[in-house]
Structure 1
Amino acid sequence: MDQQSRNDENVVEITSDSAETATPSAESDKAAPSQKAKAMKETVEWIKALAIAVVLVVIIRSFLFAPFMVEGESMHPNFETGERLIVNKILYKFREPDRGEVVVFHVPEQGRDFIKRVIGLPGDTVKVQGDDVYINDVKLEEPYIADAIKQAQANGQLYNTESDFPNERITEATVPEDTIFAMGDNRSNSQDSRALGYISDKELVGRAEVIFWPLNKLSFIKH
C-alpha cells in the first residue's frame, strides 16, 4: 500500500473516533434535564404527602381523637401519673355518656382538664355513705375499685374519707339535665363533682379509650 492510501485510512479512523466520543456527551446533555425534572417531581410529591399528613393530624386531633396525660392520683389504682391516653372526642357527639365510663372534661374556672368516672346521669339521685355510692337508693356496684376498697378496709380505714358534698353549689344530689356527676376512683384524693359541681355536657372532651404509654401498660380501657 502506498503512502497516500495509509494517510486516507488514518483520516477515516480519526473521524470515526471523534464521532463515537461525541455521542455519549450529547446523550448526557439530554439526560441531565430529565433527571432534574424527575427529582423536582419527587420533591413536590413529598411536599404534597407531608401537607396531607399534617392536615389529617389536625383533623384527627381537633375532631376525632386526642392524647391526654394523667396527672395526680385521683384515678388510682386504675390510672397513674404520667400515663398517656387516647381520648375519643367524637363519641359523645352521637350519644350521651354511660355510667362507669372514664371521661375527660374541661373545668373553665381552673383552666385545665380532669379525668374522672361517670357516676350519676341526668335525673339520678346520688348519695355517698362511707365507701358506698347509692344511685336512686340502690347501691352502685363498682368492680373497678372493689380491690382497693377491700385493702383499705383490711387496714381499718375508709377508702372514701371525703364528705359527701362539700361544695355549697350542690344543694341536692339530683343530677340536672345535660350534666353528669363524676368521681375519681381514688375517692379520698379526688377533686370531682363533690367539689367541682355537676359537669356540663358541653365541657366533656371525650371518653378515654386506650393507654398507649408506657408501652408495658398498653391496653384498651375497660368501662
Structure 2
Amino acid sequence: MWKFRRRRRRYSFQYQEKKRKQMLARGRQILSWSVLIFAAALCAFVMVMLFGRQTMVMEDSMKPTLSRGQSVYVNRLIYKFASPKIGDIIVFYPNGNQKLHGYVKRVVAVGGDTVQIKDGILYVNGKPQDTGSAIYDKMKDAGIAESRIRLGSGEYFVLGDNRNESEDSRSANIGMVTRDMILGKVWHVGALERELG
C-alpha cells in the first residue's frame, strides 16, 4: 500500500513536471512569435517613416480613384530602382517647386512615346487610349497636346483621372514631368484602404 502511494505520488509529480515544461515551452513559443510580430511591425513602421510619406489629395482631379481630402501614402524609394510606368499614380512637384503642394496624377505616356489629344481622346503612339472606358470623359481641352508631342528620355505625360477637372501635362504651366520633379508612387490605394478600414 505504501509502495503504491509512493508510485502514485511519483507519477503525479512526473505528470505535473511534464505539464509544467510543456506550458513553459508553449509560453516561450508565444513570446518568440510575439517578439517576431512586434519586430516586423516596427520594421514596417520605420520603413514607412524613412521611405514613405503621407500626403493629402488637394483637388478632385483624380476622381473617382481618389477624392479631395483623402490621405495617400507615397513610396519615395521605388523610383530609385525603377522607372515610372504607364498607369502608375505619382506625386510630383510642378517644375520641381517643393513649396507648392504635391500634385497627384496618373502616368499615361513615358519617354520615347508620342502624345496627342484629338477630339477629346488621348492618343499614345498613334493609338487611341481610354476608348470605351466609363471612367474617363472626353477631354474638352487638349492644351499643349493638341499637336503631337514626343517625350524625351526621362519625361512623363500625366493626366488626372477626372480629365476635365485636372491641371496636368496638358497645361503649359506644368507640361512634361521629369524624374527630378517626382516625389514617388502612390501605394496601392484600394488595398491600403481595405487593410486600414
TM class by shorter chain equals 0.5 to 0.7
* 1:61 alignment partner, one of 45, 49, 62: 49
Residues 210 and 193 of structure 1, relative CA distance in 2, 3 Å threshold: same
The answer on 1:200 being equivalent to 2:172 is no
Which of residues 186, 189, 197 is equivalent to 2:162? 186
**Match of 1:79, as an amino acid?**
L
Query: Where in structure 1 are there 5+ consecutive unaligned residues?
Result: 1-52, 153-158
Q: Does 1:130 align with 2:119?
A: yes
Q: Matched residue of 2:83: which SS?
A: coil
8 Å CA contact 1:126, 1:173 repeated in 2: yes
The count of residues paired between Structure 1 and Structure 2 equals 151
1:104 alignment counterpart: 91
Distance 1:111 1:148 in 2: 28
- Partner secondary structure for residue 112 of structure 2: coil
Task: Map residues 2-151 of structure 1 onto 2, 5 A cutoff.
Answer: 60-63=48-51, 65-107=52-94, 108-109=96-97, 111-141=100-130, 146-149=133-136
For residues 97 and 128 of structure 1, the distance between their equivalents in structure 2, rounded to whole angstroms, comes to 21
Higher radius of gyration, 1 or 2: 1
Distance (whole Å) between structure 2 residues aligned to residue 142 and residue 99 of structure 1: 16
Aligned residue in 2 for 1:5: none
| Identity rate, percent | 25
Residue 60 of structure 1, CA deviation: 3.7
Matches of 1:162 and 1:129 in 2, distance apart? 10
One-letter identity of the residue aligned with 1:139: P
**What whole-Å deviation, never above 9, does each CA across 1:135-194 have from its counterpart, x for those lacking one?**
110112478xx2134xx6xxxxxx31113317xxx9851111111111111111111011
- Pair 1:124–1:59, CA change in 2 (3 A): same
* 1-structure distance, mates of 2:48, 2:63: 29
Superposition deviation, residue 85 in structure 1 = 1.0
Quote the offset at 1:71 in angstroms: 1.2
State the distance in 1 between where 2:153 and 2:82 align.
Answer: 14
Q: 2: distance between equivalents of 1:171 and 1:142?
A: 20
Cα 1:88/1:142, change in 2 over 3 Å:
farther
The 1:68–1:219 alpha-carbon spacing in structure 2 relative to 1, beyond 3 Å, is farther
Aligned to 1:47: none
Q: How many Å separate the matches in 2 of 1:130 and 1:202?
A: 32
Instruction: Rate the CA distance shift 1:132–1:197 in 2: closer, same or farther, 3 A.
Output: same
* Root-mean-square deviation (Å): 3.1
The one-letter code sitting in structure 1 at the alignment partner of 2:154 is D
2:91 and 2:115 mapped to 1: Cα distance?
Answer: 20
What TM-score do the two structures reach when normalised by structure 1? 0.58
